[in-house]
């Protein structure tokens, strides 16, 4: 698979090399404009401060004009930043990523980079409270006759630290996959990473849903996961030895705190992969082809794992 991936990747890069080069140059030009605008802000700010020292009408007018220039320039920078990488991203995602995805996913699907999974869906898997939420690079389609959505997700809180600075605390950053099953099993199952603080307090969830802690047969995984379930027979049916081994294989690929987590609620399956992204969406502006390829292959392996795991779980539930 890796050789095939590399072969297709090289062909796609060659076909789009000139377009990517031009788009990369556009990004550089926009970045230089932002640097010039930043200098304008500093100078305008200095003029505003100096003008305010003169207690007369002219001083006040100059200060007001300088502040206005500052605000207009800041707005311009923000707009440029938002659009800075758009030309490159559009070519890269449409001409490189889409064809590569067909290597592991041959059923019809839709890839919409600017859309994501709704905040309510992410909240629905008993996530800790968070202030900010962003999701993008939505892919949806069918897998084993079940509809699915997968996207990049970032959820975070903002708090004051000991230095009285307002800083971001990331709750989750990675991929979320939602699968809708054709029927409800009226059961709940949570496979939770011990080193992750993604979920709410499990004691509250256990009490609300009358869950029990499930003892795993593969002891190597007990150090990594806790499993809570409403039905042990249902859990044994879902978490076969093959699936648990699959989780163990993935654990050996990544840092334990970045392991996969699973939630099943009635007729929905949710899979989360921290610090992992829809392939290509976190790999941009690499100058050389090899660096881009190496990063893309790492993401592809994890993404492929998610689809293989989803296939296995669905097959267990819908043989």
Q: Kindly report, residue by residue over 201-218, the tens digit of the pLDDT.
A: 677 788 888 888 888 776
Q: What is the pLDDT of residues 76-96, one digit of tens each?
A: 545 544 445 566 777 777 787
Banded model confidence at residue 188, pLDDT cuts 50, 70, 90: very high
Same domain, 59 and 116: no
pLDDT, residue 224, reads 77
3-state helix, strand, coil split of the chain in percent (to 5) is 50, 25, 25
Does 90 map to a domain?
A: no
Does 89 map to a domain?
A: no
Number of domains the chain contains: 2
For 163, other C-beta atoms within 10 Å of its C-beta total 6
- DSSP SS3 for 130: coil
- Domain of 24? 14-83
DSSP letters along 176-207, please? EEEEE-SS----EEEEEETT---B--HHHHHH
Q: What is the mean pLDDT of the chain?
A: 76
Does 154 map to a domain?
A: yes
Judge contact between 95 and 131, C-beta under 8 A: no
Nearest Cα neighbor of 284 from 80, 2, 93, 17 is 93
pLDDT, residue 85, reads 55
Whether 32 shows a pLDDT value over 80: the answer reads: no
CA distance linking residue 84 with residue 256, whole number of Å? 35
Whether 66 shows a pLDDT value over 70: the answer reads: no
For 154, other C-beta atoms within 10 Å of its C-beta total 18
pLDDT, residue 281, reads 61
Does 76 map to a domain?
A: yes
Question: What strands lie across the sheet with 212-214, from one edge to the other?
Answer: 109-112, 132-143, 146-160, 166-180, 268-274, 261-265, 188-193, 225-229, 212-214
């Amino acid at each position: 698979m890796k050789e095939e991936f590399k072969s297709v990747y090289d062909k796609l890069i060659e076909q789009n090399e000139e377009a990517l080069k031009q788009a990369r140059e556009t990004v550089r030009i926009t970045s230089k404009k932002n640097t010039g605008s930043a200098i304008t802000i500093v100078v305008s700010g200095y003029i505003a401060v100096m003008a305010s020292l003169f207690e007369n009408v002219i001083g006040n007018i100059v200060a007001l004009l300088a502040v206005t220039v500052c605000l207009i320039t800041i707005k311009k920078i923000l707009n440029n930043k938002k659009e800075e990488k758009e030309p490159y991203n559009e070519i890269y995602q449409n001409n490189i990523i889409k064809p590569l995805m067909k290597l592991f996913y041959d059923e019809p699907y839709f890839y919409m980079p600017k859309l994501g999974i709704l905040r309510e869906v992410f909240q629905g898997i008993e996530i800790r409270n968070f202030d900010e939420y962003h999701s993008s690079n939505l892919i949806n389609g069918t897998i084993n006759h079940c509809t699915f959505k997968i996207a990049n997700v970032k959820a975070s809180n903002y708090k004051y630290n000991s230095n009285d600075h307002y800083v971001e605390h990331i709750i989750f950053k990675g991929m979320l996959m939602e699968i809708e099953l054709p029927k409800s099993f009226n059961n709940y199952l949570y496979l939770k990473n011990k080193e992750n603080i993604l979920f709410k307090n499990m004691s509250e969830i256990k009490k609300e849903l009358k869950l029990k802690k499930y003892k795993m047969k593969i002891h190597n995984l007990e150090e990594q996961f806790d499993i809570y379930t409403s039905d042990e027979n249902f859990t044994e049916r879902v978490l076969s030895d093959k699936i648990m081994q699959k989780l163990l294989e993935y654990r050996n690929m990544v840092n334990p705190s970045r392991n996969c987590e699973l939630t099943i609620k009635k007729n929905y399956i949710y899979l989360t992969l921290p610090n992992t992204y829809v392939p290509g969406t976190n790999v941009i502006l690499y100058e050389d082809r090899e660096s881009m390829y190496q990063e893309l292959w790492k993401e592809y392996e994890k993404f492929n794992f998610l689809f293989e795991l989803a296939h296995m779980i669905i097959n267990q539930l819908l043989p």
